[in-house]
Amino acid sequence: MRYSLQAGGKRLRPVLVLAAAELNGRPAFDPRAAAVAVECIHTYSLIHDDLPCMDNDDLRRGRPTAHKQFDEATALLAGDALLTFAFQILTDAYIGNAELASALVRELAHAAGSERLIGGQMEDLQAEKCAHPTADQLEFIHLNKTAAMIEVSLVMGGLCGRMRPGPELDSLRRLGRELGIAFQIVDDILDATSDTATLGKTVGKDAKADKTTFVKLYGIDGARRYAEQHTAIALDVLDKLAGDTAFLHQLVATMLERRK
């Protein structure tokens, strides 16, 4: 569990939790536990995604994947343990506020469950066997496989900042969806254009596996334009949000230019 969780990475999702919590000043509830819980879920999903039965990858965050460092059974159980540990963190940290704890658990469980993260992953596997994947199919995959966890990161941060269900949380959800799709498109572009040393993971595997990606459907230039469109929408959503959005503006804008 520690080997994978402490391996580095961008920490985008926990950063989004913290940033959303601080939109309206000092958060009412400490968002750090929520941020760690989100990263536990994300890391578990990477461990399982790298397994031979899924993407079968040997490298993650610049070092051997968990099943290569240890073995498949250990990697599987480490992922399982991180998944359940995430909810233990939330219930322990927010035990003094049952309403908040319940809301955080509900949001994270839905985002990580069969209708979102896992559903998107299943559709991604099925798309590998599809001779003619569609744009709608690709959108469904990444609205759930990728964007769901980015969306829930912002929402959980908002909840820690005492946002109530309504326009503010709805805007955070929309921001997460648009940022998530843009993030995935850039990931697809980097897989086709970058190198293993820079990314810290195997490149070119999407094309080798004939995976359904934004680059496959739209080409590199078309994918870049699509990422720019989603980024522009995300920035427009931010413009309408109350509070200090400067950090989130900078983060969203620089996602297009990331190199890993």
Percentage of the residues of the chain whose pLDDT score is greater than 90: 80
Cross-strand pairs, 60:
63
Element of type H or E holding 199:
helix 196-199
User: Is there a contact between 91 and 101 (Cβ–Cβ < 8 Å)?
Assistant: yes
pLDDT category at 112 given cuts 50, 70, 90 is: very high
Q: ∠179-183-187 over CA atoms, to 5°? A: 170
Question: Averaged over 126-142, what is the pLDDT?
Answer: 87
Contact of 143 with 199, CB cutoff 8 Å: no
Question: Could you tell me the two tokens for 238?
Answer: 């931010």
C-alpha closest to that of 233 among 216, 253, 219: 253
Average of per-residue pLDDT across 107-112 = 98
The pLDDT assigned to 25 comes to 92
- Six token digits for residue 203: 């490149």
Structure-token pair, residue 54:
């899924």
Helix (H) / strand (E) element for 234: namely: helix 214-239
Residue 211 in this model has a pLDDT that exceeds 90: no
Tell me the per-residue pLDDT of 171-196, one tens digit each, with 9 for 90 and over.
999 999 999 999 999 999 998 998 88
Residues linked to residue 63 through DSSP beta bridges, in sequence order: 60
For 14-255, give the CATH class: mainly alpha
Give the residue carrying structure tokens 């595997």: 205
Question: What helix, strand, coil percent values describe the chain, rounded to 5?
Answer: 70, 0, 30
Show the tokens assigned to 236: 């427009």
Residue 256: per-residue pLDDT: 87
Closest by CA position to 173, among listed 102, 225, 227, 110 = 110
Nearest CA-CA partner of 181 in 235, 142, 136: 142
Q: State what percent of residues in the chain have pLDDT above 70.
A: 100
Per the CB < 8 A criterion, the answer to whether 144 and 117 are in contact is: yes
The Cα–Cα gap between 221 and 205 comes to 19
Taking residues 124-145, report their average pLDDT: 88
Listed range (39-43, 44-48, 126-130, 154-158) with the worst mean pLDDT: 126-130
**What pLDDT score does 254 carry?**
93
With beta carbons less than 8 A apart as the criterion, state whether 212 and 137 touch: yes
Q: Cα–Cα distance between 39 and 164 in angstroms, integer?
A: 23
Token reading at 58: 């040997």
The answer to whether residue 200 scores a pLDDT higher than 80 is no
The size of the chain, in residues, is 260
Query: In angstroms, rounded to a whole number, what is the distance separating the alpha carbons of residues 84 and 91?
Result: 11
Task: Write down the pLDDT at residue 194.
Answer: 87
pLDDT (mean) for 92-103: 97
